[in-house]
Amino acid sequence: MGFCSCRRTQPVLAVIPEMTAHEVWESAHAGAAKAAYARTWRIYWNGPTREDDYVRQIQIVQQEIERGVAGLILSPDHAVALISPVHAALAQGIPTVIIGSPLGIEPGGKLSYVLNDDAAAGRMAAERAKRYLHRGDTVAVIGTNPDFLGSIDRAVSFEAALRREYPEIEIYEPRGGSFLSAESDGRAELAIRLHPRLRVVFTQNIEQTELIHAVLERTHKANRIKLIACDQDLGLMRMLRRGEIDAVLAERTYEMGARAVEIIARLREGAVPETKVLLPPALITRENIDSPAMQQVLDMNWRVQ
């Protein structure tokens, strides 16, 4: 699917994820590739090597605008910094679909959103957490990051859903934690020690989930504290299968990729597609991970022939 192997006569869609080589985005690659293949379109797939490297993501977006792609599918690494590059794409007449987490601008015209239903994700996580909570317990919400507006929606929804049933519950939510902050590890360990009644940790990205998982293993709290994670990843799924993670809220990124291609097709045809589509996440547990429905969500076969 390399760009240079593309024939000029075929439209090329640039699909730029938050980062590559994570299953959550490889599934988007697979969905987009399959939908594009059906239309004999080509996919250019590349992204940053980190979820917070929005500078590199902007470079790739600008590069693809200059190449004159037929459409842009973007999962932004920053809700604000990517606004100008997207405007630049729209100014060039490039149909653009934002997948995953929204930008800080309203959709419309040639800009559409196919997003994870983060409010639903928060509610589903809360429902799962309720299984383990008792009066006086503490819940931690990790990874709320203003760069990803969806994480705020998830956290707000999660807390609201919990408080409806447990108004007195303590919710610990450290703000400003980046994906890769060097001191996150120490802060997480400190938080676990400072909250002896911590029962559930809700982590909102893969890096923070791995970090909390490591801290729980190290402090031998894995059996007592349940970890509910967001975003699918092969490593996390393995932890889920071993019982070290209670549940993973998987984004339906395969469907996001496919729907995004369909929307671009409609925009290119001059039709007016939906400007905003919300896809509810899938709650994956040890019990259902091998079901065909869940494995479909985890499909990452981008080599459609």
Type of residue found at 13: L
Residue 23 is a binding residue for another protein (CB under 8 A): yes
- The smaller minimum CB distance to another protein, of residues 59 and 131, is found at 59
Residue 56 is a binding residue for another protein (CB under 8 A): yes
Could you give the string, one character per residue 191-210, with x where binding to another protein holds by CB under 8 A and - elsewhere? -------------------x
Rg (CA), the chain: 20
Among 206, 179, 166, 211, residue whose Cα is nearest residue 192 = 211
Q: Which two tokens stand for residue 86?
A: 């997207």
Q: How many CB atoms lie within 10 A of CB 175?
A: 9
Q: How far is the CB of 253 from another protein (least distance, A)?
A: 13
Work out which of 234, 243, 272, 278 binds another protein, going by CB under 8 A: 234
Residue 10 is a binding residue for another protein (CB under 8 A): no
Q: Which are the contacts of 229, defined by CB distance < 8 A and separation ≥ 6?
A: 203, 206, 209, 236, 240, 245, 247, 248, 249
Q: How far is the CB of 246 from another protein (least distance, A)?
A: 17
Residues forming beta bridges with residue 73, ordered by sequence position: 15, 97
Q: How far is the CB of 162 from another protein (least distance, A)?
A: 27
Residue 64 is a binding residue for another protein (CB under 8 A): no
Residue 276 is a binding residue for another protein (CB under 8 A): no
Backbone dihedral angles phi then psi of residue 202, each to the nearest 5 degrees: -105, 110
116, 154 Cβ separation under 8 angstroms: no
Count each helix (H run) and each strand (E run) in the chain, helices first.
10, 12
Residue 1 is a binding residue for another protein (CB under 8 A): yes
The interface with another protein within residues 71-100 (CB under 8 A) comprises none
Which residues contribute to the site for another protein (CB under 8 A)? Answer: 1-5, 19-21, 23, 26, 29, 44-50, 52-53, 55-56, 178-183, 185-186, 210-211, 213-215, 217-218, 232, 234-235, 237-238, 241-242, 289-290, 295, 298-303
